[in-house]
Amino acid sequence: MTHSQYGQDNFVINYFNNKKDGYFVDVGAFNDGNDTILLEELGWSGICIEPITGAYQELTEKRSCTCLNVCVGNENKQVDFSENVSNDSDSGWYAYTSALSGVVESYSQEHLNRISQENKDWNGKSVIVKKQMMTLTSIFEKNNSPSHIEYLKIDIEGGELSCLQGIDFTKNTFDLISLEANYEHETRPCVDLLARHGYAPFVKLGVDIFFRKLM
C-alpha cells in the first residue's frame, strides 16, 4: 500500500530495507505527510513541517511526530505566505490549489500564472498571511534532531533552493534527499548546490528527484 502520489513512500522504505529506527524530516507535509506516514508506522521518528493553517491542524490530528507550523527557507524572519483556499465557505479551508501555497518571494511568474488559472478553474483564492520562516539548521537545533538524518523530503512550491540554503551541511548529513522538481530553472540551482555538498540525483518518481550521498 502507498500513501504517496507516485509511490515515494514505498521507494524510501525499500531503499532503507524496512529499517525501523530512522529519522525523517518532511518539509511541506500538507495535511497528512503522505510521503512519511508509513515510516512513522514502521517506528521512525522525525518532524513534519507545514505552514498552511488548515493543513497543519489536520496534520497534528493524524501524526504523532513533531509537527511545526512554520515556513522553511534561508533566513529566520517573518514572510508573506500565500494560502490558497476555497471560495466556498461550506467546503472549509481546502481548495484544489491549496497544495500550491507557498512563500510569495519564492514564487516564479510561471507558478503564479498556474495558481491564478487554477483558482479560476476550481473556485479558489489566494490569501496573503504573515508566517515565521526558519532555516532547517535552526529547526534541527531547536528540536534536538540527530546530526545524521536518514531522509529529508522537500516539497514547498518553488522554495526548495531557499530551504537547502538554510542547511549547514557541516553539521548535518543525509542518506536520502528528495525534492519536488516542477520547473527546470528552479531545479538546476538545487542540483548544483547539492552537488557541491556531495549529493547526486539517481532516480525520479513523478515530479520528485531523489539524491544520495556520494561515497
71 and 15 part of one domain: yes
Give the CATH number for residue 12.
3.40.50.150
Q: What is the DSSP secondary structure assignment for residue 123, as one 8-state letter?
A: T
Distance, first Cα to last Cα, the chain? 32
Write out the residue range of the structural domain in which residue 51 sits: 8-75+137-213
Is the pTM for the entire model greater than 0.75?
A: yes
pLDDT > 90: percent of the chain: 82
87 and 71 part of one domain: no
Burial class (CB in 10 A: 0-12, 13-18, 19+), 101: buried
Q: Is residue 16 part of a domain?
A: yes
175 and 95 part of one domain: no
Per-residue pLDDT reduced to its tens digit, 152-180? 999 999 999 999 999 999 999 999 999 99
Rounded-to-integer distance, Cα 198 and Cα 20, Å = 26
61 and 145 part of one domain: yes
Averaged confidence pLDDT in the chain: 94
CB 50 within 8 A of CB 139: no
Residue written as grid cell 516564479: 108
Largest alpha-carbon pair distance within the chain?
53
13 and 64 part of one domain: yes
176 and 70 part of one domain: yes
Query: Which H or E run contains 103?
Result: strand 102-103
CB 98 within 8 A of CB 52: yes
Per-residue pLDDT reduced to its tens digit, 70-112? 999 999 999 999 999 888 766 677 888 898 999 999 998 998 9
127 and 94 part of one domain: yes
pLDDT > 70: percent of the chain: 99
Could you give the number of structural domains in the chain? 2
Residue written as grid cell 511526530: 65
